[in-house]
């Protein structure tokens, strides 16, 4: 029996909605983070990015990895690329976890 069917059978509808809300929040956070990263990378590529912009991006993304890459814009750009890949990987893991709640055991 799927986890969703078990939840409905047990009458725990709030648990069912909690799973849906978790993936929704994860998707929203993923979109926000990726937009911030893309904007920063575009700004770096165009030459408009300033060293002071690093701290705005770090604050927005709450990323210790970026905080340790402020010695140069090139190093920061590399760290942004790595963070972009990490964000995608984390979101895909959330999607897999959500999918598992939909599948049968």
User: What b/e string do you get for 70-88 counting C-beta neighbours within 10 Å, with b at 16 or more?
Assistant: eeebeebbebbeebbeebe
Amino acid 22: pLDDT: 82
Residue 65's domain comprises 3-102
pLDDT by residue, tens only, the chain of 105 residues: 445 555 545 555 455 555 667 888 999 999 999 999 999 999 999 999 998 999 999 999 999 989 999 999 999 999 999 999 999 999 999 999 888 877 655
Amino acid 101: pLDDT: 78
* Helical H segments across the chain, by residue range: 3-10, 13-46, 51-61, 64-67, 73-102
Amino acid 60: pLDDT: 95
Q: Is 30 left (phi over 0), alpha (psi -120 to 50) or beta?
A: alpha
Amino acid 53: pLDDT: 94
Amino acid 85: pLDDT: 96
The answer to whether 87 touches 30, Cβ cutoff 8 Å, is yes
How many domains, the chain? Answer: 1
Amino acid 14: pLDDT: 53
pTM for this entry: 0.76
Amino acid 44: pLDDT: 97
Residue given tokens 């590529």 in the structure block: 45
């Amino acid at each position: 029996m799927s986890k969703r069917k078990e939840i409905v059978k047990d009458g725990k509808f709030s648990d069912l909605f909690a799973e849906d809300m978790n993936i929704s929040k994860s998707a929203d956070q993923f979109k926000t983070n990726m937009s911030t990263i893309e904007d920063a990378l575009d700004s770096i590529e165009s030459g408009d990015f300033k060293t002071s912009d690093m701290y705005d991006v770090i604050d927005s993304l709450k990323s210790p990895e970026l905080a340790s890459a402020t010695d140069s814009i090139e190093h920061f750009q590399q760290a942004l690329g790595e963070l972009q890949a990490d964000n995608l990987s984390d979101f895909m893991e959330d999607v897999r976890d959500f999918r598992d709640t939909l599948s049968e055991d």
